[in-house]
Amino acid sequence: MSGANVYSQELKHREDQLALQYLPAVKAMSFRLKERLPSSIDYMDLCAIGTEELVKLARRYDEAQNDSFWGYAKTRVYGAMLDYLRSLDTVSRSSRRLIKEIDSAIEIYMAEHDDEPSDDELAVILGIEVEKIHDARIASDIYTVMPLDDQLGTPEESGMLERIEHEDLVEAIQKVLMSFEEREQIIIQLYYFEELTLKEISEIVNITESRISQIHKSVIRRIKDAVGGQ
């Protein structure tokens, strides 16, 4: 074997070893993300996407430019998983309207019963097939783990965020959050910044997961309204 081939084989071996070193971190990231997603999303699919991206990054990594491989790779691996989740989104505009109707119906129902309605109950309330309710709620749950700009932007509102200065968006978000009670601000902090699951947050603040989910959706809706008024 020529010297060039030997060097190439050694380089590939080092790259593969680098990827293997951080594979447990990718598995942990996949598991943590899966905890925040509907049961229909497979942990193994997330792990496979993350691992594939990790290997690609290991083979492109230049330690002369980045002294920490995981620091370089972490956000890119997570981003690849989010891209996979985005690729699952086949929700039409009519389905997006249905999601809004479902959220509104849930809010009204919870105000009256202090509990979240089942898919069957929502189907009766809205006069829609239960399968459509189920699919729409899964899509809605997937979006809750997405970055804020994903949740604010929809096909019919494309370009909205591009028209807003970053500082204005941050200010709008801060104003909305300040209008909530301290407990609700804590919930948003735990969900977005600490990346806790609804169950973990429920144990900390002692309110139901359903109520936490509704608070989250209310925050997003009010931020969207505030941004739309810019």
Query: Could you tell me if 138 and 68 lie in one domain?
Result: no
Per-residue pLDDT at 176 exceeds 60: yes
Angle between helices 130-143 and 119-126 (to 10 degrees): 110
Looking at the structure, tell me whether residues 172 and 193 fall in a common domain.
yes
Residues 24, 54 within the same domain: yes
pLDDT digits (tens, 9 = 90+) for 97-122: 888 888 889 888 888 887 888 999 99
- Which amino acid does the sequence have at 21? Q
- Quote the CA–CA distance of 144 and 37 in Å, as a whole number: 8
pLDDT (0 to 100) of residue 11: 47
Q: How many domains does the chain have?
A: 3
* Cβ–Cβ under 8 Å, residues 190 and 206: no
For residues 8 and 76, membership in a common domain is answered with: yes
DSSP 80-112: HHHHHHHHT----HHHHHHHHHHHHHHHHHHHH
Residue 213's CATH number? 1.20.140.160
Buried b (16+ CB within 10 A) or exposed e, 84-113: bbeeeeebeeeebebbebbbebbeebbeee
Last residue of a domain, one of 104, 127, 143: 143
Whole-prediction pTM: 0.68
Burial, 72: exposed, middle or buried (Cβ in 10 Å; 0-12, 13-18, 19+)? middle
pLDDT at 230: 45
pLDDT band at 169 (very low <50, low <70, confident <90, very high): low
Q: Look at the block and give the residue holding tokens 């496979």.
A: 48
CA distance linking residue 53 with residue 81, whole number of Å: 9
Angle between helices 69-87 and 23-35 (to 10 degrees): 40
CATH code of the domain in which 21 resides: 1.10.1740.10
Q: Rounded CA gap, 184 and 138, in Å?
A: 24
Cα–Cα distance measured from residue 212 to residue 43, given in angstroms and rounded to the nearest whole number: 24
pLDDT digits (tens, 9 = 90+) for 213-230: 888 877 777 777 776 544
Are 77 and 137 in the same domain? no
> By residue range, what is the domain housing residue 70?
3-87
Examine the domain organization and report whether 176 and 216 are in the same domain. yes
List the structure tokens of 153: 């932007």
Total residues belonging to the chain: 230
Give the pLDDT score at 90. Answer: 54
User: Which of 114, 143, 172 is the endpoint of a domain?
Assistant: 143
Q: In terms of domains, do 129 and 151 share one?
A: no
Per-residue pLDDT at 154 exceeds 60: no
Taking CA atoms, 110 is separated from 15, 56, 118, 122, 207, in Å, by 53, 47, 11, 12, 13
Residues 193 and 138 in one domain: no
